[in-house]
């Protein structure tokens, strides 16, 4: 029977080409706008490390004493001072823990007549790579002993290795950064979590191709490399000595493998804050320990305008569905005599309803195909916008499939009322009118 309904639906759609075109176009516009905005929203709000995000936590303590502070009503500062970050790392209360700050690295290629260039860099500690599951193409990260010894080592991204060494194994070779030579110990495979969660509130971009250079924190600081974001809460006589200055410039991440470990770490963090208050370093005991996704939600990484655009797109799709309902109803009324004849020949209301729903489904699939084209055009336009995430706006396989799900659901919803209206038409008046 489905083949028969399909044949009837195709005949009907061909018979009323203008109405069919309008219905397909209406659905396609709504679907295209919806898929475009959903693709961007999914990109910006996705889990950057789905295999591990539930085990990664961002501890916060707060030595700052801003005027007007009310206990329990203000969240702790996002960054940490150097002493606090080092104290938490040396406590070794997590499976892995690392401190980090973003910086800029001036790289001088060794090729003749090559010009120096700047790349995004991270000053961090040894556990960074194991904690974040960074994939290595060549070599590995450095060790905690290298951190303590201020070894001049570096891990570089694959794209930088391609640029400097043609993609060859560069482990053991040197790279000239900020007038100093560093020995390469590791080269990463493509690794650019979106959003770049560890860069949030460190002064860097949240989206993009990722960082090019990873340096031991103490080594980089001994070479006078400065963090991109520094927040001082008291007068600072010498900004170069950030290790002793009343300034927050480091982010700390910790890996905790169980709920019990999380509870123990939170208790440790609360105890640490109280201890620092007793020592006169802190003025407040507030602490926070959010997992990766909770941290991204708190920091509102997804721009408000993107959420607004997604809401507007769904509203536009609803308008398109309502218009399609009107067009299907108009089509149904024009076919009243045909429906009456079919009912008189023995077709049941259920069969009439199914016939019209099949017709609506075909319209939806056609709208989905055209909607994909509109979505690709929309994403093409986004990729040419100045936003930092623009280049990442591409339609993946899951969104491709979801497009047809949306199209089919939208068309079937639009077809329910016209199909019901067709199924309840009384055949006798239609035959008399004929």
Instruction: For residue 229, say if its preceding peptide bond is cis, omega within 30 degrees of 0.
Output: no
Contact between 196 and 208 under an 8 Å Cβ cutoff? The reply is yes
Residue 96 lies in a domain: yes
- Report the range out of 109-113, 293-297, 340-344, 427-431 with the highest average pLDDT: 293-297
Same-domain check for residues 105 and 219:
yes
Lowest model confidence (mean pLDDT) among 8-12, 66-70, 296-300: 66-70
CB distance 246 to 81 below 8 Å: yes
How does residue 302 score in pLDDT terms, banded at 50, 70 and 90?
confident
Residue 293 lies inside a defined structural domain of this protein: no
Please determine, for residue 106, whether its predicted confidence score (pLDDT) is greater than 90. yes
Q: How confident is the model at residue 345 (pLDDT cuts 50, 70, 90)?
A: low
Residue 328 pLDDT: 80
**Domain stop point among 252, 286, 320:** 286
How many Å is the Cα radius of gyration of the chain?
30
Q: Which two tokens stand for residue 55?
A: 């085990």
At 111 the pLDDT is 79
Whether the predicted pLDDT of 361 surpasses 60: yes
Q: What is the mean pLDDT of residues 253-263?
A: 96
Domain-ending residue, one of 223, 255, 286: 286
Q: Considering the domain boundaries, does residue 57 fall inside one?
A: no
281 and 208 both lie in a single domain: yes
Mean pLDDT of the 49-77 span: 76
Angle, in degrees to the nearest 10, between helices 2-15 and 17-45: 110
Q: Where are the beta strands (DSSP E) in 18-173?
A: 56-60, 96-108, 117-124, 136-139, 153-156
- Shared domain for 106 and 237, answered yes or no, is yes
Indicate if the pLDDT at residue 257 is higher than 50. Answer: yes
Rounded mean pLDDT, 283-290: 89
Q: How confident is the model at residue 5 (pLDDT cuts 50, 70, 90)?
A: low
Q: Is residue 52 part of a domain?
A: no
Q: What is the pLDDT of residue 333?
A: 66
DSSP string, 374-406: HHHHHHHHHHTSSSTTGGG----HHHHHHHHHH
CB distance 198 to 78 below 8 Å:
no
pLDDT for the residue 274: 93
Average pLDDT, the chain: 85
Question: Which of these ranges, 117-131, 329-343, 420-434, has the smallest mean pLDDT?
Answer: 420-434
Residue found under tokens 């023995």:
346
Please give the pLDDT value at position 420: 80
Residues 103 and 252 in one domain: yes
Beta strands at 247-248 and 213-216: parallel, antiparallel or unpaired: unpaired
90 plus 169 within the same structural domain = yes
With CA atoms as reference, report the closest residue to 399 among 44, 38, 130: 38
Residues 6+ apart with CB under 8 A from 7: none
Any idea of the CA torsion for 352, 354, 355, 357, to the nearest 10 degrees? 120
Same domain, 126 and 272: yes
Cα 45 to chain center, whole Å? 4
Report in angstroms the alpha-carbon separations of 186 from 48, 68, 134, 219, 320: 22, 48, 11, 16, 53
- 298 belongs to a structural domain: no
Q: Residues 265, 319: one domain?
A: no
Supply the pLDDT for residue 413.
85
CA dihedral 191, 192, 195, 201 (to 10 degrees): 100
Q: Are residues 99 and 32 in the same domain?
A: no
Work out how many domains the chain is built from and give that number. Answer: 2
| Nearest alpha carbon to residue 330 among 414, 427, 433 | 414
Q: Give domain status of residue 54, yes or no.
A: no
Please indicate, yes or no, whether residues 7 and 93 belong to a single structural domain of this protein: no
pLDDT for the residue 68 = 44
Are residues 24 and 367 in contact, defined by beta-carbon separation less than 8 angstroms?
A: yes
Q: Which residues contact 288 (CB under 8 A, 6 or more apart)?
A: 58, 59, 60, 75, 76
Question: Are 372 and 241 contained in the same domain?
Answer: no
User: Percent of the chain beyond pLDDT 70?
Assistant: 87
DSSP string over 212-271: SEEEEHHHHHHTT---S--EESS--S-TT-TTTSSEE-BEEEEE--SHHHHHHHHHHHHH
d(CA 128, CA 110): 28
Whether 87 and 232 share a structural domain: yes
Structural domain for 250, as ranges: 62-286
Are both 167 and 139 inside the same structural domain?
yes
Domain assignment of residue 358, yes or no: yes
Beta strands in 278-378 (DSSP E): 288-291
Average pLDDT over every residue of 200-217: 82
Q: Looking at residue 1, what is its pLDDT? A: 60
- The answer as to whether 426 is a domain residue is yes
Q: Which of 286, 320, 342 is the last residue before a domain boundary?
A: 286
């Amino acid at each position: 029977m489905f083949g028969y309904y399909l044949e009837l639906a195709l005949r009907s759609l061909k018979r009323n080409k203008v109405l069919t075109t309008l219905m397909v176009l209406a659905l396609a516009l709504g679907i295209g706008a919806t898929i475009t905005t959903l693709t961007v929203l999914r990109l910006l709000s996705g889990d950057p490390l789905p295999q591990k995000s539930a085990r990664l936590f961002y501890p916060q303590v707060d030595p700052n004493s801003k005027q007007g502070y009310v206990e329990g009503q203000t969240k702790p500062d996002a960054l940490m001072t150097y002493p606090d970050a080092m104290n938490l790392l040396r406590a070794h209360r997590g499976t892995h823990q690392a401190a980090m700050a973003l910086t800029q690295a001036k790289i001088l290629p060794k090729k003749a007549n090559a010009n120096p260039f700047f790349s995004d860099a991270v000053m961090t500690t040894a556990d960074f790579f194991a904690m974040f599951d960074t994939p290595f193409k060549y070599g590995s990260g450095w060790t905690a002993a290298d951190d303590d010894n201020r070894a001049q080592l570096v891990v570089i991204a694959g794209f930088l290795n391609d640029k400097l060494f043609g993609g060859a194994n560069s482990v053991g070779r040197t790279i000239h950064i900020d007038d100093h030579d560093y020995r390469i110990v590791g080269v990463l495979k493509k690794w650019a979590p979106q959003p770049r969660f560890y860069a949030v509130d460190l002064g860097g971009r949240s989206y993009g191709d990722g960082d090019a250079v990873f340096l031991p924190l103490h080594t980089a600081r001994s070479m006078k490399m400065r963090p991109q974001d520094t927040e001082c809460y008291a007068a600072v006589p010498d900004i170069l000595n950030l290790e002793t200055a009343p300034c927050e410039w480091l982010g700390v991440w910790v890996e905790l493998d169980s709920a019990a470990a999380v509870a123990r770490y939170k208790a440790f963090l609360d105890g640490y804050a109280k201890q620092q208050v007793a020592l006169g370093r802190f003025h407040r005991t507030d602490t926070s320990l959010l997992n990766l996704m909770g941290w991204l939600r708190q920091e509102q990484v997804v721009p408000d305008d993107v959420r607004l655009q997604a809401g507007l797109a769904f509203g536009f799709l609803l308008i398109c569905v309502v218009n399609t309902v009107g067009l299907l109803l108009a089509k149904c009324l024009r076919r009243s005599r045909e429906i009456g004849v079919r009912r008189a020949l023995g077709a049941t209301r259920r069969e009439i309803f199914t016939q019209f729903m099949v017709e609506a489904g075909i319209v939806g699939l056609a709208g989905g195909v055209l909607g994909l084209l509109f979505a690709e055009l929309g994403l093409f336009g986004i990729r040419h916008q100045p936003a930092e995430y623009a280049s990442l706006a591409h339609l993946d396989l899951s969104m491709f499939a979801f497009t047809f799900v949306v199209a089919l659901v939208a068309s079937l919803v639009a077809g329910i009322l016209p199909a019901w209206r067709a199924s309840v038409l009384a055949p006798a008046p239609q035959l008399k009118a004929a």
